[in-house]
Chains A and B, each alone.
Chain A
Amino acid sequence: MKSEYDVLVVGGGPGGATAAKAAVEAGLSACIIEKRPAIGTPVRCAEGVGEELLAEFIDPDPRWIAAKIDGARIIAPDGGELNLSPEMAGNEVGYVLDRKIFDRELVWQAAVAGADVFVKARATDAIVEDGVVRGAVVEYMGGRKEVRAKVTVAADGVESKFARWCGMDTAVPMAELETCAQYLMTGIDIDPSLTVFYLGNEVAPEGYVWVFPKGERRANVGIGISGKKSGKGHRARDYLETFVRRHFPDGKVIELIVGGVSVCRPLACTVADGLIVIGDAARLSDPITGGGIYNAMYTGNLAGKVAADCIRGGDVSREALMVYDRTWRESPMGKAIERNYKIKEFFITLDDEKLNTLINSAKNIEMDKFSTLTLVRELIQHNPRMLLELQALKKSLG
């Protein structure tokens, strides 16, 4: 490990790997430090990602595609089903990945492009001089050393500490942290081309249960619930057990996966002098689906490019790096997060009766091309008794 790089990336997930690759491809020196001893494990993810979105960054490869998904089904609390075609289902269908292979491939590609990579190398503090972030103190092989960088990229995920050490408030409000548990199950009767989402305050309060196929008769079966609905005796794991006993009593669990997903708004500002924050660390997971792979890769790529421009221009101040912050906020990804945040805020107010009404009425809506506004407008027509709240939602979406 050198003591100085152009770009130091803290965290070797999809965001960090993409950032490092973009940086070296722009002619910079870059280094990824990953605190865990292996890339891609333990998995903290339901592994769903949009096919078209992913294609922006990597060619599909059967080694890390566990299943190809053709559609989604939403199950209302009363059991009513709403089937969505891929176009309507949005960005979270396409592939269910094998993150252990996928993440490794991304870091591999960054390394081949020229980035340094160190595992079981952990940032223990930020180097901050006169308010400017200048790298990290790194614990590696029993010692601590300073690794300095012109730009540091915080890609340290939901459990991010780096931005906090640099003075940013990154704490996720308890109500906006989805606490999740998932089983990788085998021997279950599922449609291997369909993702299924179960809604309802009894099944998953302020969250949902997902069944994401990973091939024939196997799937990620998981749940996320709001942190404020979680507590002793009614935690994510408890709800998951209840669901699995009812729906897949004969299935076998070959992996337990736990984690947290933020569904808050992104950080108010995602740059500081010498620092760019990306992906889950910037609270950029989707507030409705919780999906964050593409968002991390998109912001990682952007961070690498902006870092290169700013380093070349000799100015890595917050003002100069703000190009990154403005660009992602104005991107389709940034706009989708803002829109989906508002929709999520609406959905968590619904009791099961209203959820049933909305989901069952949506069945009758014909849409050639999915548009949130069209959907809301149609829902208003179909549900005159929910006129006021739906109109408020429509207004908030502009």
Chain B
Amino acid sequence: MFSMLNIHREVCGYCGACVSVCPEGALELIDAYLSVSDVCVNCGICARVCPLGALEVVHEE
């Protein structure tokens, strides 16, 4: 199975709450643009804490 972190950019408020909880340091807020690097392990912590619901770990067969 394949997992990845989806960023809904139209929902994101680029606040950086997700960056602070990322255990891998995979997220970075570049002004108004959230970037995710390949060290992301799809743990989903960022998706839980996002105040707006802009992050989602999706699983595909």
Contact = CB atoms under 8 A, between A and B. Distances in A.
A235 interface: yes
B19 A161 contact: yes
Contacts of B58: none
A37 B30 CA distance: 11
Contacts of B21: 171-174, 177, 227, 260
B14 to A, nearest CB: 8
Contacts of B31: 35-37, 120, 122
Nearest to A232: B53
Given A120-B31, A164-B25, A227-B21, A260 B52 contact: no
Given A158-B20, A171-B20, A258-B15, A177 B30 contact: no
Contacts of B17: 158-159, 177, 179-180, 258-260
A135 interface: no
Contacts of B45: 174, 227
Contacts of B15: 44, 159, 258-260
A258 B48 contact: no
Contacts, number: 91
A90 to B, nearest CB: 25
Contacts of B41: none
Contacts of B49: 174, 177, 179, 227, 230, 260
A179 B16 contact: no
A210 to B, nearest CB: 15
A164 B16 CA distance: 15
Interface residues of A, number: 35
A236 interface: yes
B30 to A, nearest CB: 7
B28 A161 contact: yes
Task: Give the size category of B's interface with A.
Answer: 20 to 34
B30 A256 contact: no
Contacts of A171: 20-23, 25
A181 interface: yes
Interface string B40-53: 00000100111111
Contacts of B29: 159
A398 to B, nearest CB: 30
Nearest to B25: A164
Contact of A259 (B16, B25, B28): B16
A148 interface: no
Contact of B20 (A42, A159, A237): A159
Contacts of B51: 179-181, 230, 235-237, 258-260
A122 B13 CA distance: 19
A262 B20 CA distance: 8
Query: 5 closest pairs, A vs B, by CB?
Result: A159-B16, A260-B17, A227-B49, A236-B51, A159-B19
Interface of A: 35-37, 42, 44, 120, 122, 157-161, 164, 170-174, 177, 179-181, 227-228, 230-232, 235-237, 256, 258-260, 262
11 contacts: A120-B31, A122-B31, A158-B16, A159-B19, A160-B20, A171-B23, A181-B52, A227-B45, A227-B48, A228-B48, A230-B50
Interface of B: 13-23, 25, 28-31, 45, 48-53
